[in-house]
Structure formats: structure tokens, C-alpha cells
Structure 1
Amino acid sequence: MAKAVVIGGGIGGLTAGIALHREGWEVSVLERAPKLEPVGSGLAIAVNGLRALDTLGLGDAVRRLSRVQGQAGIRAAGGRWLTHTTEDTARRRYGDSVVVLLRATLVDLLVDALGPERLRLNTTVTAVDATTGDLHTTTTDPGTTIGDVHLTTTGSQKAAGDRDALRADLVVAADGVNSAVRATLFPGHPAPAYAGVTAWRGLVPRPDVPVPSAESWGRGTVFGAHPISDDLVYFYATDLSPAGAAHGDERAELLRRFGGWHQPIPAVLRAADPARIIRNDLFYLREPLPAMHAGRVALVGDAAHPMTPHLGQGACQAIEDAVVLARLADGDLAAYTEARLRRTAEVVRRSMSICALTKLRNPVAVALRDSGMSLATRLTPDLMLKSMDGILGWRPPPRTGNGQEPAAPA
């Protein structure tokens, strides 16, 4: 049986492990953290991501554990709708809709589907040979801070302190935005660039005001809120900021920036626990990689194509990567690059294009942006969905491996 080792236990890595196992591979997923703590609070899975999960028998489980986004759109800071659509419209167009759920819920579902026996926590990869598929790992104490991973593309060497050696027919690098594997496979390629925007995310009890699924755009600022359940709301916000800036009280900072916006934004922020607000700077890969593989190593998710979240496609593209890789991995990995590189590069580009629109601060430019969006929507009511056809209309490739179509889990 062919062996695959996945580096990274995030959404892309777990999905890759599941997909490869369903195709008949012997799989190990290695995660350097002592336990899986999903970064972020909530996320959206769009039609294309659900379609990919359906191939693994997991789509319906995600639908059951999530909330349909319903009406969604973009509003101005004062509350006026600039563009919007409904669940019915999306369902008529694509046969499905967008769902919103806790990131932790999705990770738990993926771990269960993978099988805990295939997940090795607290395991750091210290060397990878892309030519042979050799890996060296070390198991660290849960209290130990793990430094940068050092990798080689040729000449498998046992580094000091290594405790285990593995050989894989396929290595899947799902080690995130700052992927050490990517940097080693493509050493001359530019690192992810700062988008000029910082982001906040959090979960709050649902306030006593209506909370429609919507983003609101201001001058260089965005605030989004989406109900995840009857009593829980996921929110996120972005603003221009120097990289690395931090604030003592992130809720106070958010209220300073967004407290004067339309409801339910002030109510959502007042309900937030300052200690549970996550803030991070946004990075993206300005120049696409020359390939999404080298030798026996394939890159998936943020390791291959870090993107800003403005299309809500980060998790969806990682899930797509995983499913496509598993269906093509029995052959030349060049087929995986051929299937994924151009598509993901376009999603990165479009996400950054929307990010650029949200970064506008000049009042005249903002007024032109908002009026143009409103006018375009009046002329073409389903423009918001039409503009996403190329992304949401994606379908998985036909199976070419040795696996069987999965049955939905009981």
C-alpha cells in the first residue's frame, strides 16, 4: 500500500489525509502542536467547498452542523444595502448555498473522519527529502516551544535530536502561510506579502437586535457578522494598519473604529469578550508559485497559495486542493499542479482585488465605489452571484485512483 505523510493538521492537511485514505493510501498526519486548537473562530464553506466535501461523504454532516447563510450582502457603514442576494437565489443557481460554522466544529468532524490513529500530534518534521520522500521527525514535550522547521530537497540527512525516520511515497505539505516546505522547495520565490490590512475575529452571544449575514464597508474598513446558531454570532473586522501593531484592549480598539456604525455592529462589539478576540495581519502570495509540487512533495492550502479572506475561499480552496490531489496522486504530480495552480492563483488575485477596494480611504473614491456597486446591482440584480460563477461553479475531477465512492458516515 502506498504511504502518504501529511505535514500539518489544519483544515487542508486533515482533508488531504481523509481524501488520500479514501483513495487507498496509508496515511499519517503530523502536527507539531500538542493539541489541535483551530486558529480563528468561525468560517464559511461555500458551494464549491461543500461539493468537495460531498466526495468524501462529509458534505451533509457539515450542512447539519452549520447554519445556512441566508440573505447575504454588502452594506455601507450607515447601513444602506449596496448589494445583496438570498439563499433561494444561490440555491437556484448552484444547487446549494453557503453555510457558516465554528472552525472547531469542522476540525472535530475532520479528525473523526480521518481517525485519531492516523493523527500524530506533538510531532515536528525536521527534514524532508523531496526526491526520496524521506522525512525526519522529533516528538517534543508539550511545553516545549518549537522553532522553525529545517528542510532539505536532496540528500536525506538525520539531524541532531531526531527520534524517528519515515519514508513516504507522497509528502503533503499543509504547513500554513509561512510554510517552511514551500520556502525550501522554491527558495528564490518571494515570501507572502503583507496586504496592508489587519483583521479581528471573534464569537459573541447573539444580541437583542436582528443580525443579518452581511459585510459593511467603510473608508478602509470592513465589518462582517454572521449568525452561527440561534444564540451565537461570528464577527470579523479589518482595517489598514502597520504590520505587527497591537493594542492592549482589542474590543476598545474595535469600538473606537466601528462603534458609530449601524446596528447590530455596536451591539455585537459590546457583547464581545476582549480576551477572546483574535487579531492577525493578512498576507497573500503576490506571485504564484511555478508549481504546486516538487518531486514527491505536494503543497496544499495556505502553504501553496496564501490569500486574503475577502472572497471567503481560504478553507474552500484548501479542501479543493486536498480532494483533487487525492484523485490525481497515483499519477504524475504535474497533473495536480495543472489542475490547481491557475485556479488558485486567480482566487488569490481576485481576493486581493476586493481587498484593494475595501482599503479605499479617499471619500470621493469610497462614494464612487459604493454608488457603482449599487448601480451595478440595480442593473443586474444577481450580479453578486454571477461574479462568483467561475469559483462556485467548480466540480471535482473524476476519480482516477483505486478508491471507491465513499458512503456518508453514519
Structure 2
Amino acid sequence: MSTPFSAAIIGGSVGGLAAAIELRDQLGADVKVYERSAGEMQARGAGVVMQREVDALLNRIGVQTREVCVELHERVGLALDGRYSVNSAPQLMTAWDILYKRLRAHLGDACYHSDSRLIGLDQSSVNVTARFANDHAAQSDLLVGADGVNSVTRQLLQGYEARSAYTGYVAWRGLEKESDLPDELVAALKDRFTSYMNPGMQMLCYLVPGADGETTPGQRRVNWVWYVNTPTDDLDRFVMGQTSRRYRSFLPASDVTDTTKRVIHELADRSLPHLFRALVHESAIFMQPVQDVAAQPRVHGRSLLIGDAAGTVRPHTAAGTSKAFGDAALLAEALTGWTADDPMPEERLERWNMARTMDLEVTAIRGHRLAKGSGLGQADQLSFPKELRLKGKAQ
């Protein structure tokens, strides 16, 4: 049976997988995914709030949403002195690695190519050729750039780098098995979305499924994120790993220096309620600088951008994953009925571009307002005491 068109997907994270599945399953396209990482991808996003776009794709590939989620029942707001407030707030939570494994299993291995770092693009009126650092070249009728906030696809298509802008704060994170944490800590956190806010910082915590999708109590994981205002000079020290590698957008737990761990532990002791102080000390911490990329043009002839490659939203919106999934689903809708022998459906793609860009910009504005409401990214709300910043030099 012939396929209507071939598509190369640049970026093998969940957004790229969603695009490949939508184009293959909905339209019958011949898809191939190219991921720059050579080994297993790390769970950079950790916890994910279940949104309708994610739920819809999971259901289409035969995954029942509650099979891959932990259900929360309450929202708890902590105060520094130990007081707290409780409100009923049912919500479903999953994790980046759970989504990745389910999508990857559905897509299959035959069309997924690791260790494929994009270095060049050649585009004509009838096809696109992607060139990779491993000397491989792939020609396709369509190319989709889903390679994230620092997208190489975007840079090659536009002829310049639309660099991500550091927002003035970072997200320290932890993702721990609940069985590895003290019982009293887990008891205080389970079934709840727990948070603490103070000008210049915000910490959130909730449970997600275990690494293999387990949702049984005792087999799940505790996921937390701690947003902290951090001057650029301190960021430059923190992103230098103990292996002397300088990270751009993700510092893995395995490469956090002892000095950084000590500084973050001291900051937790000074700044957080007891429950969250204990959690930080019990965790293998990792970090992501919060970065902004303004909305970018999505349509470049036969090459298209989706997800963070087309623009970012702040993590407070809980919309990063759902935004990429929505891009993919509506792109498949815009390409319905198109074949490689036809001219590109430019009007439909432009409508897709305008609709998705409008959605992105509205969500981005909401994210900026949420950050501002917590004093995040504001220079007059610094969270690092001077003496800790001076101790925080990377080793």
C-alpha cells in the first residue's frame, strides 16, 4: 500500500513522537524520527499535569489515562512556620518518562534513529534533505522540527539563531521513589499537590507513577520543582558540571558539583518549610534554567516547527507538553488529504500557523503573569543571600 507522503521528524522527545504518531496513524505517512542523543533520553520534564491534548493522544493509541497517572485529591499550601491550608482539588499527574515510553513503544523502533545530530538542511520545491553529523542524509517530502528550545532546525531554516533568553530564575528538581523516602515524608505528601510560595521562589510537589508506570502506593515517585530567582553569574557557575562540561538547558543530577549541592541544601535550610527542606536533602537534585523563546514562524516551505522549537511557555502554565501535542494533532488535521504529488496546502498550513501561534502567545502571557505574581524573574526579589552566592562558585 502506497503512502501519501514521507516525513522526517527532527527531535525524538515526546513532541517529536507525538508528531510521528499523528502523521503515521492518522494520515498513513511514512515517518522517520531523528534524535541527537546517542543513549537513553533523560527525563528532563519530570512531572506532567494531565491535559486534554495528552489525554486524547493516549486514548487514540489505546492507553487508558488513569493507567499512567496518579490521582491527587487536595491542594495544600504551606507556610514557613509549619501552618498550612487545604482545599479539595482532584487532578491527574503523570511523568515525562512514562509518556515517552508509551509513545515510543507505540511508534516502534524501526523508524527511530538515535545519535542523529542535525547539521544541515537542503530544501527544494519538492523535497527536503536533512544532513546529520554521522554522515547520514535523509530525503523526505516533509520535515518537522521538534527539537526543543534550542532548536537546530529553527536556526538552519531561519539562517540565524533565535536564542533562548534566560528569565532570571531556575527550576531545581527532584524525582525520587517513594519507597526510598522516609515514611513520614511520603505520608505528608501523598494524594496532594503541595506548594510553598515566597517572593522570588516557589516550590511544588506531587506524586507521579513509578519509572515503569506503577501507580500502586509504595511504587510511585515523589516529584518536586523549586523555582528560585538566580542571577546570571550564579547560573553560569551552577551549569558547570563536575566533569567541567557546561550545560545549556539541563543540568543532570549525575553532574551536579558538591559545592552546588551544599549551596542548594543551605538555601533550603534558610528558605523552605521543614517538609520541603527534608525533601530537598533526601533528593538527587537536577536543574533547568527557565528560558523564553518568542513565537517563531512555523511554516518554512516543506519544513515546519512545532513545540518549543516554535516558541516556549513558562512551566507554571503546565502546558509545555500539551502545547506540543496540540501542534502535532492540528498539523495532521491541516495535512489531511495531502499527498507528495500535490502542491503544499499553504492556506491550511497558514491557518494552522496562525491558530497555534495565537494559542502560544496567550499561554505565554499567562505564564509571565503567574511568574510575576510570585516575584520570579524580578531582579528586586533575589532569593540567594549574598554570603551563599559567594560560596556558590563551581568546582
TM-score by length of 2: 0.75
Relative to structure 1, is the Cα distance of residues 163 and 169 closer, same or farther in structure 2, using a 3 angstrom cutoff?
closer
Corresponding residue number in structure 2 for 1:283: 291
Relative to structure 1, is the Cα distance of residues 79 and 312 closer, same or farther in structure 2, using a 3 angstrom cutoff?
farther
Specify the SS of the correspondent of 2:173. Answer: strand
Contact 1:44 1:98 (C-alpha < 8 Å) held by counterparts: no
- 1:301: Cα distance to partner? 0.9
Corresponding residue number in structure 1 for 2:228: 239
Corresponding residue number in structure 2 for 1:157: none
Of 201, 216, 219, 2:196 maps to 216
Distance in 1 between residues matched to 2:280 and 2:327, nearest whole Å: 35
Distance in 1 between residues matched to 2:332 and 2:259, nearest whole Å: 44
Specify the SS of the correspondent of 1:123. Answer: coil
Corresponding residue number in structure 2 for 1:396: none
AA in 2 matched with 1:182: R
Corresponding residue number in structure 1 for 2:99: 106
Relative to structure 1, is the Cα distance of residues 219 and 297 closer, same or farther in structure 2, using a 3 angstrom cutoff?
same
Does 1:128 find its partner at 2:128?
no
Distance in 1 between residues matched to 2:40 and 2:276, nearest whole Å: 31
Per-residue deviation, residues 117-167 of structure 1 (Å, max 9, x unmatched): 110111222222344432233363xxxxxxxxxxxxxxxxxxxxx333x32
Of 337, 340, 362, 2:356 maps to 340
Contact 1:176 1:302 (C-alpha < 8 Å) held by counterparts: yes
Corresponding residue number in structure 1 for 2:282: 271
Number of residue pairs matched by the alignment: 327
AA in 2 matched with 1:269: V
Of 195, 207, 213, 1:227 maps to 207
Please list, as runs of the form range in 1=range in 2, the aligned pairs for 1:250-265 lying within 5 A after superposition.
250-260=260-270, 261-265=272-276
Contact 1:205 1:271 (C-alpha < 8 Å) held by counterparts: no
Per-residue deviation, residues 245-288 of structure 1 (Å, max 9, x unmatched): 31634443333222353242122122213xxx211211012x32
Contact 2:229 2:381 (C-alpha < 8 Å) held by counterparts: no
Relative to structure 1, is the Cα distance of residues 338 and 80 closer, same or farther in structure 2, using a 3 angstrom cutoff?
farther
Contact 2:38 2:115 (C-alpha < 8 Å) held by counterparts: yes
Specify the SS of the correspondent of 1:69. Answer: strand
CA RMSD of aligned residues (A): 2.7
AA in 1 matched with 2:46: G
Contact 1:192 1:283 (C-alpha < 8 Å) held by counterparts: yes
AA in 1 matched with 2:105: D
Distance in 1 between residues matched to 2:152 and 2:17, nearest whole Å: 18
Distance in 2 between residues matched to 1:320 and 1:59, nearest whole Å: 18
Specify the SS of the correspondent of 1:105. Answer: helix
Relative to structure 1, is the Cα distance of residues 28 and 189 closer, same or farther in structure 2, using a 3 angstrom cutoff?
closer
- 1:195: Cα distance to partner? 0.8
Distance in 2 between residues matched to 1:225 and 1:258, nearest whole Å: 15
Distance in 2 between residues matched to 1:361 and 1:324, nearest whole Å: 33
Corresponding residue number in structure 1 for 2:312: 306
Contact 1:194 1:284 (C-alpha < 8 Å) held by counterparts: yes
AA in 2 matched with 1:295: G
AA in 1 matched with 2:317: L
Corresponding residue number in structure 2 for 1:402: none
Corresponding residue number in structure 2 for 1:14: 17
Relative to structure 1, is the Cα distance of residues 79 and 169 closer, same or farther in structure 2, using a 3 angstrom cutoff?
farther
Per-residue deviation, residues 313-366 of structure 1 (Å, max 9, x unmatched): 11111111111112212343213202311001111221122122222699x999
Relative to structure 1, is the Cα distance of residues 77 and 187 closer, same or farther in structure 2, using a 3 angstrom cutoff?
farther
Distance in 2 between residues matched to 1:244 and 1:179, nearest whole Å: 21
Relative to structure 1, is the Cα distance of residues 267 and 288 closer, same or farther in structure 2, using a 3 angstrom cutoff?
same
AA in 2 matched with 1:56: R
List alignment gaps of at least 5 residues for structure 2. 210-216, 239-256, 339-344, 383-395
Of 178, 202, 211, 2:150 maps to 178
Per-residue deviation, residues 70-90 of structure 1 (Å, max 9, x unmatched): 323654444555785511xxx
Contact 1:7 1:172 (C-alpha < 8 Å) held by counterparts: yes
Distance in 1 between residues matched to 2:377 and 2:104, nearest whole Å: 43
Aligned-pair identity in percent equals: 22
Distance in 2 between residues matched to 1:57 and 1:354, nearest whole Å: 34
Does 1:43 find its partner at 2:47?
yes
Distance in 2 between residues matched to 1:53 and 1:79, nearest whole Å: 41
List alignment gaps of at least 5 residues for structure 1. 88-96, 141-161, 367-410
Please list, as runs of the form range in 1=range in 2, the aligned pairs for 1:119-158 lying within 5 A after superposition.
119-132=112-125, 133-138=127-132, 140=134
AA in 2 matched with 1:200: W
AA in 1 matched with 2:305: L
TM-score by length of 1: 0.72
Distance in 1 between residues matched to 2:304 and 2:118, nearest whole Å: 15
Please list, as runs of the form range in 1=range in 2, the aligned pairs for 1:287-366 lying within 5 A after superposition.
287-289=294-296, 291-329=297-335, 330=338, 331-332=345-346, 333-359=349-375
Does 1:71 find its partner at 2:74?
yes
Which range moves more in the overlay, 353-362 or 28-37?
353-362
AA in 2 matched with 1:227: L
Of 139, 142, 161, 1:167 maps to 139
Relative to structure 1, is the Cα distance of residues 104 and 190 closer, same or farther in structure 2, using a 3 angstrom cutoff?
closer
AA in 2 matched with 1:359: G
